[in-house]
Amino acid sequence: MAKIIKNAIQCKLCGDIIESKYTHDFVTCSCGACSVDGGHEYHRVVFKSKDCFIDLLVEEEEE
């Protein structure tokens, strides 16, 4: 199972880098096109179009 180190995305439309820092921390970019959720528990992205964000998720493999 992979552990989430940084749960973040960048919106291509407004350029915002948004990061969900804890579980149920639902963060939306300033133009409202995409959101990230889940903190270090899970990675969930809500978006208007899958082309509108860059996934910046950083994970660490757990032995």
Told to check if 29 binds Zn ion by CB under 5 A, we report yes
- Residue selected from 33, 35, 37, 43 as contacting Zn ion according to rule CB under 5 A: 33
Would you say 5 or 46 has its CB closer to Zn ion? 46
C-alpha to C-alpha distances, 22 to 10, 12, 15, 48, 52, nearest whole angstrom? 18, 23, 22, 23, 23
Q: Does 11 bind Zn ion (CB under 5 A)?
A: yes
Residue 63, classified by CB atoms within 10 Å of its CB into exposed (0-12), middle (13-18) or buried (19+), is exposed
Counting contacts by CB under 5 A, is residue 45 touching Zn ion? Answer: no
Query: Using CB under 5 A as the criterion, which residues of the chain lie in contact with Zn ion when the complex forms?
Result: 11, 13-14, 29, 31, 33
